[in-house]
Amino acid sequence: MEEKKKKRMAIIASKGTLDMAYPPLILASTAVAMDVEVGIFFTLYGVDIVNKKKYHSLKVAPIANPAMPSPIPFPNVLGILPGMTAMASMMMKSMIKKINWPSIPELMDVCLESGVKMIACTPTLEMTGVSKDDMVEGVEVAGAAEFLDFALDANISLFV
């Protein structure tokens, strides 16, 4: 198996909500388990997923999300009320716990330990005033060309 060139997956993670943080990390950790080389480029709001000050407390946006499960019938427009984002996030966290899913920081550890290449987008850091020191240990900082160089040799490319 060693001589064979590894398959490669390149993902762009552009969303910073709790629900949208899972797909890139789940696909990445699973792909590594399938002997695939993986790189994730975190850009725009997606940078929050690798921000160690924020990745413990990512939130779910209930507004404009009619698929958000609710214990009672609930007009989506009420999502603008104060406290709704916190409530939706709490609900999502309890659902995640119920199915024994790892938290985002735990999943991030799995990915980094197994060698997933993580790149945070430099202009996003510049724009939001976030420094490289705010990034989870092991996350690199680079721009579009670095991602494209990696992605040009990828078998799978995803934009999340």
Question: Is residue 94 within the footprint of another protein (CB under 8 A)?
Answer: no
User: Cα separation of 30 and 33, whole Å?
Assistant: 5
Contact 20, 49 (CB under 8 A): no
Binding mask 103-132 for another protein (x = CB under 8 A): -------x----------------------
Nearer to another protein, 30 or 57 (CB): 30
Residues 33-52 that bind another protein (CB under 8 A): 33-36
DSSP 12-30: EE---SHHHHHHHHHHHHH
| β-sheet bridge partners, residue 14 | none
CA-based torsion, 71, 73, 77, 78: positive or negative: negative
CB of 112 to another protein, least distance (A): 14
Smallest distance from the beta carbon of 110 to another protein, in angstroms? 7
3-state secondary structure of 95: helix
Q: Minimum distance from CB of 100 to another protein (Å)?
A: 5
Tell me whether residue 28 or residue 141 sits nearer to another protein (CB atom).
28
- What gap in Å lies between CA 93 and CA 90, rounded to an integer? 5
Q: Which of residues 7-36 bind another protein (CB under 8 A)?
A: 7, 26, 29-30, 33-36
Among 101, 140, 143, 157, binds another protein (CB under 8 A): 101
The whole-angstrom separation of Cα 138 and Cα 130 is 16
Binding residue for another protein, selected from 3, 99, 131, 133, defined by CB under 8 A: 99
Identify the three-state secondary structure at position 103: coil
**Residues at the contact surface with another protein, assessed by CB under 8 A:** 1, 7, 26, 29-30, 33-36, 99-102, 110
